[in-house]
Structure 1
Amino acid sequence: MPRRTTLLAWARSLTLLAGVGVPCLAQAADLLPPPPPPPLPPLAEPIDFAGGWYLRGDGGWGDLELRRTEAVDVSVHPTPYAYKAIQDKVGSQWFAGAGIGYQFNPWLRFDATGEYRFQTKWHLFAEDTTVPNTGGYNLTKGKFDSVVGLVNGYVELGTFFGMTPFFGAGVGVAHHMFDKSYDHGYGNYYGGYGEGPAKEKTNFAWAAHAGVAYSLSHNVKLELAYRYLNMGTAQTGVVECIPVCGIKTVYRVKELDSHDVKIGLRYLLGAPAPLPPVDYAPPPGPLVRKY
């Protein structure tokens, strides 16, 4: 066979193979899965405009106790009293307050709080023993309310089943506002009467806290806590006999402390907003082959 004829035969064979291969490649391309969708744009980082700051509000009830009431003669020529307390007591207090705080890290936070403690009753019923067997008794009573300011620190112990237990301590001041005081005589002092004006006194206060917090939302926490609060001493005005008898007495209600049950809310100013729902593209439809 001449050389030219051989070359033409080879060329015709290659052309036929190429024509057969193109449809095969096209059919193979139809069998491949579609390319993946383009990646979603990254979510914008939440703007933290207030850091770890939070606001709080609290309310509760306190079982108020005193160590003792001290009667002090403040007359021109004072005479030391001797008396036997028969009943020396103070009532309970409701309270409400607010504050601002800062969460330094997941386990440490601080806040400053102020609260008003509603008016409660106090009275002292005592036998005068300055002179033996006088048979004289006095009932002295009054009412006072209080304002307490504290700076507190708390340690949080981690979150378990949505609950975050914590403990802490605080220091500050307690301002007691005694209303008018009244003194009534009984026994051999029956008919005796005295009054004292209003009196205010400020002193050191301290507290110990323990409780648990629960997240109601991404930036609201509910707290239930116990607090021991020591509020120092409250004091009456000078109680004088009516009509004048020359005896003037001040009553100091010493070592006032309260066992408080508190419930409160914390609003986290800098908490990140919840992530919006992501609208993913629907999956591709079924593969359709064209012949």
Structure 2
Amino acid sequence: MRSVKSLLAAGAATLFSTCAFAADLPIAPPPMYAPPPPADFGGWYLRGEIGFSNQRTRDVHYTRESAYSQLTSFNQTSAFDTAGIYGVGVGYRFNNWFRADITGQYRGNSNFKGTDRFTGTAGGLAYNGIDNYSASKSEWLVLANAYVDLGTWWCVTPFIGAGVGGARVTISNFTDTGINNLPFTTASFASAPSASKWNFAWAAHAGLAYQVNPNLVLELAYSYVNMGEGRTGVLSDYVGNTTGNYFKFKDITSHDLKLGVRWDLDTPPPPPMMPLIRKG
């Protein structure tokens, strides 16, 4: 009996000493929480857009200046029809407020109508006349653009931007039908083949972007575009006679309205989860 009691006492002493030793050990602190790194807003994106143009030209002018030298009054009206715009591009977002892209647009055929009304003198005789012009115009437009996003409210981000590049302006199917009222009435007709010209171009942009999901953004945008000058081929009359001159379309500008889409290729990963700490 005594040996059993001795064994129990020895076991209890060992247990108490072990507990006391464990109580003396330092308590490991809980793992520290590290905040997630700031979100990386950078990344490549693709874009596409469709829209329509509202175009103007400051002046349609014949290059033989002597044709205007005897005029005493001159008035010109002109207008382009609305035409479609189709564009694609690739860009890079540098942070959450600045991005840039390169875009290419095909701007479809826009029909042109113009009229000159004038009076003048020739050989001491006064006369008046009218010239009616028709043509079609199209462009290829390449721009390098930069944009500033102005903040986001309810997934909508207004933005402004600007672009510079080049425009290839093509004037086709040009005709000039005229009537001059001298002591007797004369009629004239001339036409010109298609011709293209590359110009410096620039644009100003403004719009609204809507974040559909982390990858997809829709845009409703306005652009003012200046595409420089267009020109016809060499003008000839109905029997083929020519003086080697042509018409210039000066300062071609457009007010564009477009609907676009941007697809982000580099979606930032979600932030790391906060470590789970159990109590007790």
TM-based fold match above 0.5: yes
Match of 1:185 among 156, 172, 178: 178
Q: CA deviation at 1:243?
A: 2.5
Higher percent of residues as strand: 2
Structure 2: gaps (5+ residues) = 13-30, 32-36
C-alpha distance in structure 2 between counterparts of 1:135 and 1:215, whole Å: 60
Partner of residue 261, structure 2: 265
CA deviations over 1:153-206 (Å, ceiling 9, x no partner): 001112111111111100011111111311112253654211111110110110
- Are the equivalent residues in 2 in contact too, given 1:61–1:92 (CA < 8 A)? yes
Three-state SS of the structure 1 residue aligned to 2:239 is: coil
The aligned amino acid for 2:62 is A
- Are the equivalent residues in 2 in contact too, given 1:165–1:213 (CA < 8 A)? yes
Pick closer, same or farther for the CA change 1:130–1:72 going to 2, 3 Å: farther
- Root-mean-square deviation (CA), in Å? 3.4
- 210-219 or 62-71, which deviates more: 62-71
Residue-pair matches, total: 238
C-alpha distance in structure 2 between counterparts of 1:217 and 1:109, whole Å: 18
Q: CA deviation at 1:129?
A: 3.9
C-alpha distance in structure 2 between counterparts of 1:250 and 1:206, whole Å: 26
Structure 1: gaps (5+ residues) = 1-7, 19-38, 40-44, 281-291
Partner of residue 66, structure 2: 79
Q: CA deviation at 1:245?
A: 5.4
- Are the equivalent residues in 2 in contact too, given 1:184–1:190 (CA < 8 A)? no
Partner of residue 243, structure 1: 239
- Written as runs of structure 1 = structure 2, the 5 A alignment for 1:118-129 is 118-129=108-119
- Are the equivalent residues in 1 in contact too, given 2:127–2:180 (CA < 8 A)? no
CA deviations over 1:211-244 (Å, ceiling 9, x no partner): 1111111111011111111111111112122225
Partner of residue 47, structure 2: 56
Q: CA deviation at 1:149?
A: 0.4
Pick closer, same or farther for the CA change 1:265–1:192 going to 2, 3 Å: same
Partner of residue 284, structure 1: none
Three-state SS of the structure 2 residue aligned to 1:159 is: coil
Partner of residue 233, structure 1: 229
Instruction: Give me the TM-score of the superposition, normalised by structure 1.
Output: 0.72
- Written as runs of structure 1 = structure 2, the 5 A alignment for 1:68-147 is 68-73=59-64, 79-82=66-69, 84-131=74-121, 133-147=126-140
The aligned amino acid for 2:66 is T
C-alpha distance in structure 2 between counterparts of 1:187 and 1:70, whole Å: 18
The aligned amino acid for 1:59 is I
Partner of residue 164, structure 1: 157
Match of 1:217 among 209, 213, 219: 213
- Are the equivalent residues in 1 in contact too, given 2:147–2:159 (CA < 8 A)? yes
- 134-143 or 207-216, which deviates more: 134-143
Q: CA deviation at 1:130?
A: 5.0
Instruction: Give me the TM-score of the superposition, normalised by structure 2.
Output: 0.74
- Are the equivalent residues in 2 in contact too, given 1:108–1:155 (CA < 8 A)? yes
